[in-house]
Each structure stands twice: as C-alpha cells, then as structure tokens.
C-alpha cells in the first residue's frame, strides 16, 4: 500500500501504453479473422485446414513468438509493431474459429431468403449474415480482448512499456506490492475493455436485447413448471 501511495502517478501512463498496445491488435484481429472465418464456414474444403492452422498458431508460446518476430523482422525491441504483430497472430488464431461458428449460427433459411429476394453476395454478407453473426462474434471478441490485455504484459520481458513493467520492475526490486498492483490493474483493464466490447455488441444488435425481454416470461414458466414437477 505504501508503494502505491508513493508511486500511483506512474500508473496512468502505463495504462495508456497498455491500451495503445492492445487496441490496434484487437482491431486488426477482428478485421483479419472475420473474413477468414466466413471463408472457412462457406468453403468446408478450406475451412478444415484454416482452423487447424489457427489452433497451431495459438499453440505457439508468447515469448518465443515475440523474440522470433523481433529477430526476424529486425524491428526494435521497443517498437510497438513487434507486440502488435505478435498479439494479432494470437487474436486471429483465437477469433477465426469463433467467426466460423458465428456464421454457422446464422439461420440458413434467413440467408436463403435474402438471396431469393435478390440481395447480391456482398449485400447478403453486410446486411444479413454479418449482423446476425454479431452476437456470437462478440462473445469471441470478448475472449480475445481479455487474452490480449493479459498477453501485453509479456512484452515487458523484452522492454515494452505497459502494466507488465510493474511485474518485471517489482520482481527485480523485490516489491510485492508493485507486482500485485500490476496484476490487479491488468485484470481490471481486461474486465473494463471486456465490458466495453459487450456494450458495443448490445448497441450493434438492439433486436437481441428486445428478444431477451420478450423471452423472459417464457423462461420463468418453464422453470416454475419444472419446480412443480
């Protein structure tokens, strides 16, 4: 606590750096993973190998990947692009499967009806498939956001700024309070960004919120019927 009282001014800057490293990777991951997921869903022949590669990429440990990117691209250890590339690799690997699931969850009849009404391929994607895939997509983006925020801390080992610095600096100086602050601040940041993604998802799909409200009484009766039985 004493450490926090004396050093709290450092934290906003570290949070800002942490967010600066997280957001681009999250955005790039969504932009890259959604089309790949859609392709994997539409073309089963490509889908299998694509999902296999994604799960292999996700299996690569983080520090070795960061180091490999560092050495192979010749980027500086402190360049944010080193982290952005590494985090995007994980983000895409994590999100491709959920994207494929999200498009698979779209009712086939709705999709076919849109085609029958004369929507072009692009129009079906933007105005029918993508909006209907958003709820499942958002659940995947939330998982990916939390994992990205947590992974940014590993960058501290190669000299990247962010809340991970509290972990390495606190460990080297033997200040448990500094490390604990880093852990809690990172977890809090992850929860906050997760909440923001959830709210964005709700705002993008107002119809799901309305359906929930309508669905409630039905659920209550089913549950009370179970209690009676």
Partner 1 sequence: MNYISAAFGWLANSAEWRGSTGIPTRLAQHLITTGIVVGLALVISLPIGILVGHTHRGAGVVGAVAGAARAIPTLGLLTLFGLMWGIGLKAPILALVILAIPSALAGAYAGIQAIDPAVSDAARAIGMSELRIILQVEIPLGAPVIIGGIRAATLQVVATATLAAYIADNGLGRYLFHGLEAHNYAEMLGGAMLVIALALILEVVLAAIQRWVKLRVTNPRSSRRQQLHI
Instruction: Please provide the distance, in angstroms rounded to a whole number, between the alpha carbons at the two ends of the chain.
Output: 54
Smaller CB distance to partner 1: residue 63 or 113? Answer: 63
Residue 28 or 171: the one with the smaller Cβ distance to partner 1 is: 171
DSSP letter string, 64-109: HHHHHHHHHH---TT-HHHHHHHHHHHHHHHHHHHHHHHHHTS-HH
Rounded-to-integer distance, Cα 43 and Cα 65, Å:
30
Q: Which is nearer to partner 1, 30 or 70 (CB)?
A: 70
To partner 1, the closest distance from the beta carbon of 143 in angstroms equals 7
Nearer to partner 1, 31 or 176 (CB): 176
| CB 70, CB 158: distance < 8 Å | yes
CB of 119 to partner 1, least distance (A): 36
Closer CB to partner 1, residue 12 or residue 61?
61
Instruction: Judge whether 181 and 11 are in contact, CB under 8 Å.
Output: yes
Q: Closest distance between partner 1 and the C-beta of residue 71, in Å? A: 5
Closest by Cα among 165, 156, 158, 163 to 69: 158
Kindly list the residues in this chain that would bind partner 1 in the complex (CB under 8 A). 55-56, 59-65, 67-68, 71-72, 143, 146-147, 149-151, 153-154, 156-158, 163-164, 167-168, 170-171, 174, 176, 179-180, 182-183, 186-187, 190-191, 194
CA gap 127, 131 in Å, rounded: 6
- What is the closest distance, in whole angstroms, from the C-beta atom of residue 171 to partner 1 in the complex? 4
Structure tokens at 164: 């991970």
Smallest distance, partner 1 to C-beta of residue 130, A: 26
Q: How far is it, in rounded angstroms, from Cα 176 to Cα 188?
A: 18
> CB of 184: closest distance to partner 1 in angstroms?
9
Q: Which is nearer to partner 1, 55 or 120 (CB)?
A: 55
């Amino acid at each position: 606590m004493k450490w926090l009282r004396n050093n709290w001014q450092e934290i906003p800057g570290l949070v800002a750096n942490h967010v600066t490293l997280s957001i681009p990777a999250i955005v790039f991951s969504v932009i890259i993973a959604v089309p790949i997921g859609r392709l994997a869903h539409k073309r089963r022949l490509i889908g299998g190998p694509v999902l296999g590669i994604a799960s292999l990429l996700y299996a690569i440990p983080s520090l070795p990947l960061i180091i490999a990117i560092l050495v192979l691209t010749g980027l500086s250890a402190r360049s944010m692009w080193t982290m952005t590339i590494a985090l995007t690799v994980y983000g895409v690997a994590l999100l491709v499967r959920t994207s494929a699931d999200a498009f698979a969850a779209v009712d086939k009849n709705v999709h076919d009806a849109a085609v029958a009404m004369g929507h072009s391929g692009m129009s079906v994607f933007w105005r029918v498939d993508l909006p209907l895939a958003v709820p499942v997509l958002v659940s995947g983006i939330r998982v990916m956001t939390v994992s990205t925020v947590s992974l940014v801390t590993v960058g501290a080992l190669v000299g990247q700024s962010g809340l991970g610095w509290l972990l390495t600096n606190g460990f080297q100086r033997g200040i448990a309070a500094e490390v604990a602050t880093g852990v809690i601040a990172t977890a809090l940041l992850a929860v906050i960004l997760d909440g923001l993604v959830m709210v964005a998802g709700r705002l993008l799909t107002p119809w799901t919120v309305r359906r929930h409200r309508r669905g409630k009484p039905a659920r209550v009766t089913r549950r009370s019927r179970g209690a009676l039985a």
